[in-house]
């Protein structure tokens, strides 16, 4: 997974001069070379915590994992919490106007400031995963030029829905900023990127905060020209794989096309992390079914008997153990009526091959794709539109929570999955197809509000 070159800022006395030179180089590349992933430092918009109070009071989880009660709690805690911008209150288009008004007011208050010199920002996250293990993951915030997906450039791995993209586009037009970063991965097989981060971490941190998941986030500002060049050199000829934020990336691409011409709007805020990072983890997202009919429940029972070996297990063990073995397909299953837990093992991979005959081999070995084809679309009769709009479908990344939802009768049934191995994610992306929604759960999330990327000079 490699491409021709990334942006390498040259060492000059003035960052303003270097920024102009970088822009000229990008235009030259566009004329003479095939498109590649282009990385640049941020023209950072950020909080001034001397005005707002501690960083942990103003950051939030990404907008798409914030439920209404949590939004109210965040907004009530500190008037400058980023949730007012990224998940604004109000109905219809009024909420986007609210976000724009708040951002402008915060700038006037001095709560948000724009830095004069571009920088890269390094983030270290120390966290305890859902499996109870303590880990550390680190990466950098930077700008990446938006372009079409393709080999050697930027690849997606999951399907997107139209609703979130429309929402994010309206917010982007209103605020003229990237508020929440896209999380992307790349291969640091040489170890240059990890070495560069170790050097930065030897210096004084810029700030630190704890988030709602209990992760401890430490932030370093990288403004030195030589250090920035080290990072961009380390990222040269590296393809980017979007881990989280597909809707935001596709929205940024549409926004750039609508604005047109050259400028800051052609870049998007990203957090880049190496696939080899020892703290890189992917967890499963379980499927919950609601409002099913008696006919659908009978169809599920018939499909289970036809396609799977079914073994009763203890409810605490309903979620199968994670495994890199993609030559088997395994799920857990519970229903609200019996409250009994089962392990499902696909009888023969030929069943998946037949159900997904038009898809490449790596996709036909994906648990979420097999479940979607045989059970969601097959037995339950769900359409792509049903899945996209969560009609009778919900997700949970917490197996215990999902079990409680089923046993309480809040949901009719639950399918419990294994985590998708990173190797399989790469193989499917390289095959040029996208996974079903919520096939991966990269943990922890990247907090929103640490830094922003303004889309106009």
CATH label of the domain that carries residue 353: 3.30.1760
Note whether 291 and 319 are same-domain residues.
Answer: yes
Task: Give the pairing of strands 120-128 and 393-396.
Answer: unpaired
pLDDT at 25: 39
Does 3 reside within a domain? no
| pLDDT at site 29 | 37
Q: Is 290 a member of any domain?
A: yes
Is the domain of 150 the same as that of 272?
A: yes
What's the distance, Cα to Cα, between the start and end of the chain in Å? Answer: 33
Please give the pLDDT value at position 158.
Answer: 81
Same domain flag for 255 and 301: no
In whole angstroms, what is the distance from residue 102 CA to residue 97 CA? 9
Both 390 and 450 in a single domain?
Answer: no
How far is the CA of 53 from the CAs of 58, 59, 105, 320, in angstroms? 8, 11, 17, 44
For tokens 């881990």, the residue is: 243
Q: What is the pLDDT of residue 159?
A: 77
Does 253 map to a domain?
Answer: yes
Q: How many domains does the chain have?
A: 2
Q: Angle, nearest 10°, between helix axes 225-234 and 192-201? A: 150
Same domain, 311 and 326: yes
- DSSP secondary structure letter of residue 328: S
216 within a domain of the structure (yes/no): yes
For residue 83, the enclosing domain spans: 15-280+444-454
3-state secondary structure of 201: helix
Answer yes or no: do 251 and 304 share one domain: no
Percent of residues in the chain assigned helix, strand, coil, to nearest 5: 40, 25, 40
Left (φ > 0), alpha (ψ -120 to 50) or beta: where does 359 sit? beta
- 172 shares a domain with 71: yes
Angle at 411 between CA 291 and CA 408, to 5 degrees: 135
Residue 352's pLDDT is what?
97
Q: Which helix (H) or strand (E) holds 32?
A: helix 15-32
CA 110 to chain centre: 30
Report the distance separating Cα 338 and Cα 341, nearest Å: 9
The pLDDT assigned to 31 comes to: 31
* DSSP 8-class letter at 9: P
Phi, psi angle pair for 56, to nearest 5°: -70, -15
**Residue 450 maps to a domain:** yes
Both 142 and 53 in one domain: the answer is yes
- Stated pTM of the model: 0.84
162 assigned to some structural domain = yes
Same domain, 253 and 189: yes
pLDDT of the residue at 97: 97
List the pLDDT tens digit at each of the 457 positions of the chain. 222 222 222 222 223 333 343 334 333 333 334 345 789 999 999 999 999 999 999 999 999 889 899 999 999 999 999 999 999 999 999 999 999 999 999 999 999 999 999 999 999 999 998 888 999 999 999 999 999 988 778 988 887 777 778 999 999 999 999 999 999 999 898 899 999 999 999 999 999 999 998 999 999 999 999 999 999 989 988 899 999 988 899 999 999 999 999 999 999 999 999 999 999 999 999 999 999 999 999 999 999 999 999 999 999 999 999 998 988 999 999 999 999 999 999 999 999 999 999 999 999 999 999 999 999 999 999 999 899 888 999 999 899 999 999 999 999 999 999 999 988 988 898 888 889 989 999 999 999 999 999 998 6
236 and 296 in a single domain? The answer is no
260 located within any domain: yes
CA distance 61 to 289: 25
**32 and 48, same domain (yes or no):** yes
What is the model's pLDDT at position 37?
75
Cβ atoms 399, 315 nearer than 8 A? no
Q: Is residue 146 part of a domain?
A: yes
Q: What is the pLDDT of residue 403?
A: 97
Same domain, yes or no, for 269 and 299?
Answer: no
List CB contacts of 88: < 8 A, sequence separation 6 or more.
Answer: 95, 96, 98, 99, 102, 171
């Amino acid at each position: 997974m490699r491409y021709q070159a990334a942006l390498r800022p040259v060492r000059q006395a003035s960052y303003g001069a270097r920024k102009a030179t970088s822009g000229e180089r990008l235009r030259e590349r566009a004329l003479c070379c095939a498109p590649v992933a282009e990385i640049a430092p941020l023209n950072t918009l950020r909080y001034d915590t001397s005005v707002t109070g501690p960083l942990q009071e103003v950051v939030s989880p990404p907008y798409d994992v914030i439920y209404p009660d949590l939004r109210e709690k965040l907004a009530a805690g500190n008037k400058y919490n980023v949730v007012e911008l990224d998940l604004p209150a109000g109905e219809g288009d009024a909420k986007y106007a609210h976000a724009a008004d708040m951002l402008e007011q915060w700038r006037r208050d001095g709560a948000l400031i724009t830095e004069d010199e571009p920088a890269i920002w390094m983030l270290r996250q120390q966290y305890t995963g859902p499996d109870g293990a303590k880990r550390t993951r680190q990466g950098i915030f930077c700008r990446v030029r938006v372009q079409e997906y393709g080999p050697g450039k930027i690849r997606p791995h999951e399907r997107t829905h139209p609703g979130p993209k429309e929402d994010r586009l309206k917010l982007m037009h209103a605020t003229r900023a990237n508020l929440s970063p896209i999380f992307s991965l790349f291969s640091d097989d040489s170890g240059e990127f990890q070495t560069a981060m170790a050097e930065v971490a030897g210096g004084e941190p810029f700030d630190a905060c704890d988030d709602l998941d209990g992760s401890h986030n430490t932030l370093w500002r990288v403004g030195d020209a030589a250090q920035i060049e080290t990072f961009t050199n380390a990222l040269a000829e590296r393809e980017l794989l979007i881990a989280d934020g597909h809707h935001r990336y596709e929205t940024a691409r549409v926004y750039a096309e609508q604005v047109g011409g050259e400028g800051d709007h052609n870049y998007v805020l990203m957090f880049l992390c190496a696939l080899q990072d020892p703290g890189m983890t992917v967890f499963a997202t379980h499927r919950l079914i609601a409002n099913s009919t008696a006919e659908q429940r009978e169809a599920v029972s018939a499909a289970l008997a036809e396609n799977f070996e079914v073994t009763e297990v203890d409810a605490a063990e309903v979620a199968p153990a994670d495994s890199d073995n993609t030559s088997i397909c395994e799920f857990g299953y519970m229903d609200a009526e019996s409250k009994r837990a089962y392990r499902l093992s696909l009888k023969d991979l030929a069943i998946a091959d037949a159900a997904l005959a038009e898809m490449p081999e790596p996709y036909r070995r994906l648990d979420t794709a097999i479940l979607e084809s045989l059970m969601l679309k097959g037995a339950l009769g769900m359409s792509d539109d049903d899945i996209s709009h969560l009609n009778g479908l919900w997700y949970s990344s917490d197996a215990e929570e999902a079990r409680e939802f089923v046993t309480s009768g809040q949901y009719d049934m639950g399918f419990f999955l294994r985590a998708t191995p990173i190797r399989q994610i790469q193989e499917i992306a390289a095959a040029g197809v996208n996974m079903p929604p919520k096939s991966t759960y990269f943990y922890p999330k990247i907090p929103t509000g640490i830094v922003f990327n303004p889309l106009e000079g």
